[in-house]
Chains A and B, each alone.
Chain A
Amino acid sequence: MSRYRIPGKGRVDHAAPVRFSFDGRSYTGLRGDTVASALLANGVHLMGRSFKYHRPRGAVTAGSEEPNALIGTSRGKGRFEPNTRATMQELRAGLVAESQNKWPGLGFDLGAVNDLAYPLFSAGFYYKTFMWPRAFWDRVYEPVIRAAAGLGRAPSEPDPDRYASRYLHADLLVVGAGPAGLAAARAAARAGLRVTLVDEHAEMGGALLSDPGVVIEGRPAWDWLAATLDELRALGVRLMCRTTAIGYYHQNMIGLCERVTDHLDSPPENAPRERLWRVRAARVVLAQGAIEKPLVFDGNDRPGVMLAGAAQTYLHRFGVLVGRRAAVVTAHDSAYFAAFDLADAGVRIAVLVDTRDAPPAALLDQARRRGIEVLAGHSVTATTGRLRIRSVRVNRVRDGQVAGGRAIACDCLLMSGGWTPSLHLFSHTKGSLIWDEAAQTYLPGETIEDCHVAGAGKGLWGYGAVLADGDAAGVAAASALGRAAAGAAPAVAHDRTGSGEALRELPSDLAPSLARAFVDFQNDVTAKDIRLAVREGMKSIEHVKRYTTTGMATDQGKLSNINGLMIAADTLGKAPPQVGLTTFRPPYTPTTFGALAGYHRGSHFELTRKTPIDPWAEEHGAVFEPVAQWRRAWYFPRPGEDMEAAVARECLATRASVGIFDASTLGKIEVAGPDAVEFMNRMYTNPWTKLAPGRTRYGLLLGEDGFIRDDGVIGRLADDLFHVTTTTGGAARVLTMMEDYLQTEWPDLRVWLTSTTEHWAVAALNGPNARKVLEPLVEGLDISADAFPHMSVAECRVAGIPARLFRLSFTGELGFEINVPARHGADLWRALMAAGAPFDICPYGTETMHVLRAEKGFIIVGQDTDGTVTPEDAGLGWAIGKAKPDFVGKRSLSRPDMVAPGRKQLVGLLTEEDDVRLEEGAQIVDDPDQPLPMRMVGHVTSSYRSATLGRSIAMALIENGHSRIGEVVHVPMPGRTHRARITGTAFYDPDGARLKL
């Protein structure tokens, strides 16, 4: 048994030793230990180095608020976690833990020279010290600072663990299973509510676990705890340990993160590591207790200095003595009880320093009986010891005068600056916090959520008060849900009540400029830093926080916020509520990305839509690209071909003979009903009334602001039925827009809209031989040039499959798009490939489709337009039905700015050197020699190498471009600036002769 463990004591299993390693050394703890309690049992206080000064640090707390004892934990490849709180990580067999922010070692750390340079590292030193030269910031200062300062290292490998997500509904969620939470859950469950009780620790009980001497309802605290948990289980209460309520969201939704396997020696193969719960509760009781405040004095951060309540927890819960010779310094009664318990366990209490002049007589009596020397009206002004505290310097304070100090030897120093109600979740609800002048702390005010705060979170102290309040909260929750509930406030004997005073820095006789009196341990912020920040003009606590970093990082100021506020307010000469409090935001404690991502990772992060022809494409070596949520065949390389070679071959083959393209992803909407043509007239710019059934038209859709939203070929199948196609990415948007107008502006129209995107598989045949491939497969339709001219649509059978056949072209070649029910898509494709074999039919992908359309100057909405482009800008003025009285966006086309000169217009661009391919997005200038910043007159929207034309082509939006045809502009690109001539957009077959086959 280790020197600091008391045999048989605590809630750990003394018969179950657990081996683990810390910084490569092997240690033994007990089942039920945390890493911190096991290290303390081995006499190890030094657990880490601080953020900025690399000062040696040990555990200050025994809970989730721990700022110092942050460790890296590992369970093999990919399972490394930085910044784990040693005070929360349960011991498991074989746990590998390491300290952080030290080199070469924890005991001797070269970074500790920062501590000697303390006067240099004042508040805001980043802003002051690294001003010059500017270029040094990126290359020298920042990398060096980042390497030297900081917390744990980020894991570098993918996380192999699984994380689960669950929903839960409850009548009542109780957060915190201390005395108040237990009483609330019991009262509500007895009234018949469905109750869930959660606690972040490995077992329930909260403060009761650290105060076994209290007697509740006639039973010792731990017996009462066991009996109460049994009763809750019997009443059907869901009890969840190791579960942190991380955030309180709208309408009583609480996020819980449950740690499922981190405490297990060997996790089951299929168990998730963590589980995120989204709980919707009719009522919530927040019983999160209070967090003990450190005191602020020089050297208050040495290993061995810790909160008095933490020492009490290590003693009772883990059977661990945090030292043999303890000094105590307190501003609150509660530390007396810690001192008494430690004394009763055999610890020598070297001194008990009370900052108050007149501590309660009853406590002084008890101290005297135990032979503890109490120094009331005293201050602590310094500590000594390098890797562990060795002595504390104690001074008498009278009328504000600090007398000379004397050193008292000790191996640990227990401090208590009072208690801060834990109101983080309450604050997430936007609940108001009210400054309580008497208690010198913030207490919960009003909230709009259906929420009760109970117990120490409300500033109550003592088990009787807290249990009664929890019971009342449970009754109130039940009443609010219409359940009669009888209160049963538990009777308490041997209660531990008390109060204290709130302080700033402890008074000292030493020069404040040299004092290392830490307010925020994790960020190495001292009282001096905060006072300096205020003197330098930071008037609000939010400014002080950003300037000094107090309250940041993994503990989010759980220990430091109130001390920081008191010091800032004192410097400003204002009351604390006038200085404010920083905003609490979720999560309450650091939460893994894995838990938040849950199942949404890898292929489950975003869905991948695949067409019925996708398997064929994959089988035939397609390279894919994501388009909206689809994966589309990008190009079909043959052996040895790169992308450019494959695309050139596909383009040439299509223009020379015939190509085949999977167009299934195009959005498709059926517009049906007696008023369908009126609806189309109002939605699209084009006139539809005279479009005969069996004919199609290019449709242009604007927003009400007059800018291009979408386009596509639209076929009229019958008087009352249109087959609308949209861009691949615009399908859902267009349907939403149509539904919006139909439902809310024109509900009188008898029209029905149906998304049919996934109902149809679409193969596009393009090329001079397209008809020769298709014709033998078609039944029930004459597709000769005269009988089925360009822009026709008809129903027929293709390869025996019922089809909607369009004759249209997005390539400038003779083209057909064959729509068949999706389940027949693969059959259709194979039939077309077989029929096309004699013509060397060439499957092509989206890249070739883009090149072929650009050669013809056809736009891609969203690439050649960007939400600021009108039909006239895009050269599509011909698509506007000028005789129509109204359509969506029509009125905007005559707004002053829409007709003003200087608009950017879509034009073609040909580089002077044929083989230069401009970068899409490149800016365009008129004069390349003008001083910086240059005046940019437009940008390149599309740019390709055209195998057909034997040169590069591009499209661009250029100011007044339509009237600048033939002029030369300049395109600066990395390396050099290129000259290019403005042209029309139709680079190939501008008269459309090839469509007339």
Chain B
Amino acid sequence: MLLIHCPYCDETLPEAEFAYAGEAHIARPADPMATSDEEWRDFLFIRTNAKGPHYERWRHVHGCGRFFNAIRDTVSDRFLMTYKAGEARPALPAKEGAE
């Protein structure tokens, strides 16, 4: 079972308190009706499917209830970092996987 750090509670807690919520940094277009069919399709369905570091959303559903973002390595299943919703997409931590 993973341990996940909630950036709002500032605590590292068992995975069972959290729910996965899909890829992060896919903003809903400000005016959806102005998007082309292709742009809207991409927003709805096209995802990175990363092998390695993946920016994704989690919710501390059985805790504070807040959505937040995380970078998780899909190969090792390690969380590299978590950060609050609305914060800019951070660069990858420099020493990924290092202790």
Contacts of A890 in B (CB 8 A): 32-33
Q: Which of A410-450 contact B (CB under 8 A)?
A: 430, 448
Partner of A895, one of B2, B37, B65, B97: B37
Which residues of chain A are within 8 angstroms of B54 by Cβ–Cβ distance?
none
Q: Is the Cβ of A430 less than 8 Å from the Cβ of B76?
A: yes
A743 contact set on B, CB distance < 8 A: 66-67, 85
Cβ contacts under 8 Å, A430 to chain B: 76
Q: Are B44 and A892 in contact (CB under 8 A)?
A: yes
- Residue A994 lies at the interface, judged by CB distance under 8 Å to chain B: no
Q: Is the interface of A mostly helix, strand, loop or mixed?
A: mixed
Residue of A with least CB distance to B85: A744
Docked pose: A886 CA to B21 CA in angstroms: 23
Q: Does A740 contact B (CB under 8 A)?
A: yes
Known interface pairs A739-B67, A890-B33, A895-B37; A744-B86 also in contact (CB < 8 Å): yes
B92 close to A (CB within 8 Å): no
- Say if the beta carbon of A885 comes within 8 Å of chain B: yes
B32 touches A891 (CB 8 A): yes
Q: Mark B12-37 against chain A: 1 for CB-CB distance below 8 A, else 0.
A: 00000001010000011001110101
Do residues A736 and B31 form an inter-chain contact, with CB atoms below 8 A?
A: no
**Cα–Cα, bound, A886→B37 (Å):** 16
Q: How long is the Cα–Cα vector from A747 to B66 in the complex, in angstroms?
A: 12
Q: Is A324 an interface residue (CB 8 A)?
A: no
- On whether the beta carbons of B97 and A891 are closer than 8 Å, the reply is no
Contact indicator B76/A251 (Cβ below 8 Å): no
A495 at the interface (CB under 8 A from B): no
Q: How many Å lie between the Cα of A249 and that of B44 in the bound state?
A: 34
CB distance from B39 to the nearest CB of A (A): 10
Report whether B28 and A745 are in contact in the complex, using a CB–CB cutoff of 8 Å: yes
In the complex, how many angstroms separate the beta carbon of B55 from the nearest chain A beta carbon?
13
Chain A residues near B44 (CB-CB < 8 A): 704-705, 892
B27 neighbours in A (Cβ, 8 Å): 745
Contact with B along A724-746 (1 / 0, CB 8 A): 00000000000010011001110
A400 vs B74: C-alpha distance in the bound complex, in angstroms? 51
Question: Which interface residue of B1, B61, B97 has the most chain A CB atoms within 10 A?
Answer: B1
Residues of chain A within 8 A of B1, CB atoms compared: 249-251, 253, 278
0 or 1 for each of A542-579: is its CB under 8 Å from B? (1 = yes): 00000000000000000000000000000000000000
B3 contacts chain A at the CB level, 8 A cutoff: yes
Cβ-defined contact, B57 with A744, below 8 A? yes
The distance in angstroms between the C-alpha atoms of A704 and B29, with both chains bound, is 12
| Alpha-carbon distance A743/B37, docked complex (angstroms) | 27
Q: Does A7 contact B (CB under 8 A)?
A: no
**Minimum distance in angstroms from A197 CB to a CB of chain B:** 22
- Asked whether B41 is an interface residue with its Cβ less than 8 Å from the other chain, the reply is yes
B13 to chain A, nearest CB (A): 11
Partner of B33 from A251, A278, A705, A891 at Cβ < 8 Å: A891
| A158 adjacent to chain B (CB < 8 Å) | no
For A430, give the chain B residue with the smallest CB separation.
B76
- Of residues 30 to 60 in B, which have CB atoms within 8 Å of A's CB atoms? 31-33, 35, 37, 40-41, 44, 57, 59
- Minimum CB–CB distance from B79 to chain A (whole Å) comes to 9
A885 with B33, Cβ < 8 A, contacts A253-B1, A744-B67 known: yes
| Residues in chain B near residue A280, CB distance under 8 A | 3
Q: In whole angstroms, what is the CA distance A890 to B33 when docked?
A: 8
Does B32 lie within 8 Å of A886, measured CB to CB? yes
Determine the chain B residues whose CB is within 8 A of the CB of A886 once the complex forms.
31-33
Interface size band for A: 20 to 34
Closest B residue, CB atoms, query A887: B32
Given A740-B21, A744-B86, CB of A891 within 8 Å of CB of B65: no
Select A250's contact among B21, B61, B66, B77, beta carbons within 8 Å.
B77
Find the B residue at minimum CB distance from A480: B99
Residues of B within 8 A of A278 (CB): 1
Q: Which partner residue on chain B sits nearest A448 by CB separation? A: B76
Cβ–Cβ < 8 Å partners of A705 in chain B: 44
**Interchain CB contact under 8 A, A251 and B40:** no
Residues of B within 8 A of A896 (CB): 37
| Chain A positions within 8 Å of B86 at CB level | 744, 747
- Give Cα distance in the complex from A745 to B86, angstroms: 9
Q: How far is the CB of B81 from chain A (nearest CB, A)?
A: 15
A891 to B57, CA, bound (A): 23
Q: Roughly how many angstroms separate A251 CA and B14 CA in the complex, as a whole number? A: 10
Q: Which residues of A contact B61 (CB under 8 A)?
A: 736
**Are the CB atoms of B40 and A895 closer together than 8 Å?**
yes
Contacts of B77 in A (CB 8 A): 250
A895 to B37, CA, bound (A): 6
Min CB gap A747→B, angstroms: 6
B22 to chain A, nearest CB (A): 9
Cα of A253 to Cα of B86 in the assembled complex, Å: 32
State how many angstroms separate the Cβ of B16 from the closest Cβ of chain A: 11
Tell which of A740, A745, A895 touches B41, judged by Cβ atoms closer than 8 Å: A895
The complex places the Cα of A747 from the Cα of B27 at a distance, in Å, of 13
Please report the C-alpha to C-alpha distance between residue A885 and residue B61 in the assembled complex, in whole angstroms. 31
- Least CB separation from B57: chain A residue: A744
A874-896 Cβ-contact flags toward B at 8 Å (1 or 0): 00000000000110001110011
Q: Please measure, in the bound complex, the distance between the C-alpha atom of A783 and the C-alpha atom of B6, giving whole angstroms.
A: 50
B98 shortest CB reach to chain A, Å: 11
Interface centre among B32, B40, B86, B97 (most CB of A within 10 A): B32
The residue of chain B having its C-beta at the shortest distance from the C-beta of A741 within the complex is: B28
> How would residues 700 to 718 of chain A score, 1 for a CB under 8 Å from any chain B CB and 0 otherwise?
0000110000000000000
Interface of chain A residues 255 through 276 with chain B (CB within 8 A): none
B76 CB, min distance to chain A CBs, angstroms: 5
Which of A278, A744, A886, A895 has most chain B Cβ within 10 Å? A744
Q: Which of A740, A747, A885, A891 contacts B35 (CB 8 A)?
A: A891
If A736-B61, A739-B67, A744-B86 touch, whether A251 touches B35 (CB-CB below 8 Å) is no
Q: CA–CA, A867 to B57, complex, Å?
A: 23
Alpha-carbon distance between A201 and B1 when the two chains are bound, in angstroms:
27
Q: What residues of A have a CB within 8 angstroms of the CB of B21 in the complex?
A: 740
CA distance A739 to B61 in the complex (A): 10
CA distance A736 to B18 in the complex (A): 13
Nearest B-chain residue to A740, judged by Cβ? B67
A705, A890, A892, A896 pick with most chain B CB within 10 angstroms: A892
A739 to B85, CA, bound (A): 13
Output the nearest chain B residue to A251 by Cβ-Cβ distance. Answer: B3
In the complex formed, the residue of A with least CB distance to B61 is A736
Determine the chain B residues whose CB is within 8 A of the CB of A736 once the complex forms: 19, 59, 61
Closest to B27 in A: A745
Measured CA separation A430–B74 after assembly (Å): 13
CA distance A747 to B28 in the complex (A): 13
* Chain B neighbourhood of A250, CB < 8 A: 1-3, 77
18 extra interchain contacts, Cβ-Cβ under 8 A, other than A250-B1, A743-B66, A890-B33?
A250-B3, A430-B76, A448-B76, A448-B78, A704-B44, A736-B61, A739-B65, A743-B85, A744-B57, A745-B28, A747-B86, A885-B31, A885-B33, A886-B32, A886-B33, A890-B32, A895-B37, A895-B41
8 pairs, CB–CB < 8 Å, chain A vs chain B: A251-B2, A251-B3, A448-B78, A744-B85, A744-B86, A886-B31, A886-B33, A892-B40
Residues on A lying within 8 angstroms of B by beta carbon are 249-251, 253, 278, 280, 430, 448, 704-705, 736, 739-740, 743-745, 747, 885-886, 890-892, 895-896
Q: Which 3 A-B pairs have the closest CB atoms?
A: A891-B32, A743-B67, A251-B3
